[in-house]
Amino acid sequence: SQKIEQNSEALNIQEGKTATLTCNYTNYSPAYLQWYRQDPGRGPVFLLLIRENEKEKRKERLKVTFDTTLKQSLFHITASQPADSATYLCALDQTGANNLFFGTGTRLTVIP
Amino acid sequence: DAGVIQSPRHEVTEMGQEVTLRCKPISGHDYLFWYRQTMMRGLELLIYFNNNVPIDDSGMPEDRFSAKMPNASFSTLKIQPSEPRDSAVYFCASSRTGGAQEKLFFGSGTQLSVL
């Protein structure tokens, strides 16, 4: 069956450290993988997109990697801040489809 | 632009009642998606439209659910009759063009509670 698994439901880290979130997928062949941030009571907000032929993408303190052999994406937040506390969702497509499939998310808490 | 607008923000109803959720996508966006979010199952796609035409409704749980998009600026998701297991947050999202290379813009969601 198809699955998108994010490493853990919750992750706590100390301010200033690097947070690393994992997204593993099974029985998908995505051409694109996206990461979203969701705050309580709000809809997800787009952060980054990475294509299957890209190994790494960066945006300010964010970095995403995409390994189609391992079927895994890693999402890093460097120099984390309490304001980074939120739930982070990965989303990917299935070849030929116009819609995205989402993981259940990882709730990140950055402790001051 | 005001973003994707959903109403109501919260809906509490009794089992058996009809529920209508509303969505106004971002102007100029050709695709509109309805998602449902629960703790157990995460974000699930229910249905999506391209230029007001339903393209894929395979995620609609059963016949009690229906969705319409009468014009480019308005869509509804209706549940009739509602059941307690329909309790969830329902999100509407839009994108400029289709395809997974496009980012989705989500509304703030409708928190539905069916008692």
Looking at the predicted structure, is the pLDDT value of residue A8 above 80?
A: no
Cα-Cα-Cα-Cα dihedral of A32, A4, B109, B81, to 10°?
A: 120
For residues B74 and B5, give the distance between their C-alpha atoms in angstroms, rounded to a whole number. 10
Give A43's contacts in chain B (Cβ within 8 Å): 4, 91, 93, 106-109
**What's residue A96's pLDDT?**
64
> Which segments of chain B have a pLDDT < 70?
1
Assess contact for A87 and A108: CB atoms under 8 A. Answer: yes
**What's residue A54's pLDDT?**
92
Taking the Cβ of residue A105 and every Cβ of chain B, the question of whether any pair is shorter than 8 Å is answered with: yes
Per the prediction, chain A carries an average pLDDT of 93
**What's residue A69's pLDDT?**
92
**What's residue A92's pLDDT?**
92
Taking the Cβ of residue A59 and every Cβ of chain B, the question of whether any pair is shorter than 8 Å is answered with: no
* Digit-coded pLDDT (tens) for A48-96: 999 989 989 999 999 999 999 999 999 999 999 999 999 999 999 886 6
For residues A100 and A88, give the distance between their C-alpha atoms in angstroms, rounded to a whole number. 15
* Digit-coded pLDDT (tens) for B97-112: 877 888 999 999 999 9
Cβ partners under 8 Å of residue B77, min gap 6: B20, B21, B23, B34, B46, B47, B65, B66, B67, B90, B92
Percent of chain A with pLDDT over 90: 79
